């Protein structure tokens, strides 16, 4: 005759303390969720999420049922007050639709106000699209800057790139498929000579990471329109231009789309060379 195994108190998971738990969730492949996050989702009192349908799918995968409270970019002070009040006596988990919350996702104000109120905040690490893309691209990773989404308007996009032109670090951006070609075009003009990588559909069936110049990648994706979510990476400027031929190469590339003064300014930012000298050389190349 069979019998049920009794569970000792020592084997029961410790109940979660009240507070805010920031949980990273898969960016595509549901198998990437960590055991710690799965355990916290199973034990918490409620989950604050961007889209209840997306989070419900993850919970079904885990065999978990919890109250879902919507918290997205449109949530206001009253929504935060409700969550902060609940955190005083309940364990509330914050998730985004994919990846690590607060990384171009809602949560910054909520975390800031929770800390100010003396509420315990715990972060559970896990998937992050910018970090995964950085590890795939083969670009320098000792210094990098995550820039979120580039502006959608052309002038603002160029200005954002110009501000970052002198930074000796790999630049990491999110981008949408319809805007990818325009962003690559702007990178080719403002940051000439840089190695660029496009990582998309990360952890999914059609995952891809393609590297090359901005012009090469723009041509590829114009011929093969991309789908899915995209991380766009731009390598740092060259440490130095080793010869006049290298400077000429960068100038010729920039002169294809810009005036001599603009080309000289951009190559100066990228290389640290004197702008006036580069302008004189650009005029020579243009007249050749």
Q: Which residue has the tokens 């501000």?
A: 163
Q: What's the confidence (pLDDT) of residue 265?
A: 86
* Interacting residues of 10 by C-beta distance below 8 A, sequence separation 6+: none
Q: What's the confidence (pLDDT) of residue 238?
A: 74
pTM, two decimals, is 0.78
Beta-carbon count within 10 A of 68 CB: 18
* Interacting residues of 152 by C-beta distance below 8 A, sequence separation 6+: 179
Q: What's the confidence (pLDDT) of residue 9?
A: 47
Q: Going by DSSP bridges, is the β-strand pair 196-200/19-23 parallel, antiparallel, or unpaired?
A: unpaired
* Interacting residues of 279 by C-beta distance below 8 A, sequence separation 6+: 260, 261, 264
pLDDT tens digits, the chain, 288 residues: what are they? 445 555 454 455 678 999 999 999 999 999 999 999 999 999 999 999 999 999 999 999 999 999 999 999 899 999 999 999 999 999 999 999 999 999 998 899 999 999 999 999 999 999 999 999 999 999 999 999 999 999 999 999 999 999 999 899 999 999 999 999 999 999 999 998 899 999 999 999 999 999 999 999 999 999 999 998 999 999 998 765 546 777 888 888 888 888 999 888 888 877 778 888 899 999 988 876
- Beta bridge pairs of residue 21: 93, 122
* Interacting residues of 288 by C-beta distance below 8 A, sequence separation 6+: none
Q: What's the confidence (pLDDT) of residue 239?
A: 61
């Amino acid at each position: 005759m069979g019998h049920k195994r009794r569970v000792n108190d020592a084997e029961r998971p410790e109940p979660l303390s009240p507070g805010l738990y920031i949980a990273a969730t898969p960016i595509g492949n549901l198998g990437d969720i960590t055991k710690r996050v799965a355990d916290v989702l199973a034990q918490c009192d409620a989950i604050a999420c961007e889209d209840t349908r997306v989070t419900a799918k993850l919970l079904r995968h885990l065999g978990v049922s919890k109250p879902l409270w919507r918290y997205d970019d449109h949530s206001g002070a009253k929504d935060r007050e409700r969550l902060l009040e609940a955190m005083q006596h309940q364990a509330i988990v914050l998730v985004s639709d994919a990846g690590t919350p607060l990384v171009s996702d809602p949560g910054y104000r909520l975390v800031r106000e929770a800390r100010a109120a003396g509420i315990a905040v715990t972060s559970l690490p896990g998937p992050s699209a910018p970090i995964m893309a950085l590890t795939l691209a083969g670009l320098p990773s000792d210094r990098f800057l995550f820039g979120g989404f580039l502006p959608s308007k052309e002038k603002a996009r160029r200005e954002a790139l110009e501000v970052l032109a002198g930074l000796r670090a790999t630049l990491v951006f999110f981008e949408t498929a319809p805007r990818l070609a325009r962003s690559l075009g702007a990178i080719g003009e403002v940051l000439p000579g840089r190695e660029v990588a496009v990582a998309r559909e990360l952890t999914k069936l059609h995952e891809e990471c393609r590297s090359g110049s901005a012009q090469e990648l723009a041509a590829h994706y114009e011929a093969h329109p991309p789908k899915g979510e995209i991380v766009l990476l731009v390598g740092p400027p060259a440490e130095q231009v080793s010869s006049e031929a290298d400077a000429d190469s960068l100038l010729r590339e920039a002169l294809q789309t810009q005036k001599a003064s603009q080309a000289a300014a951009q190559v100066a930012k990228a290389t640290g060379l004197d702008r006036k000298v580069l302008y004189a050389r650009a005029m020579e190349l243009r007249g050749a």
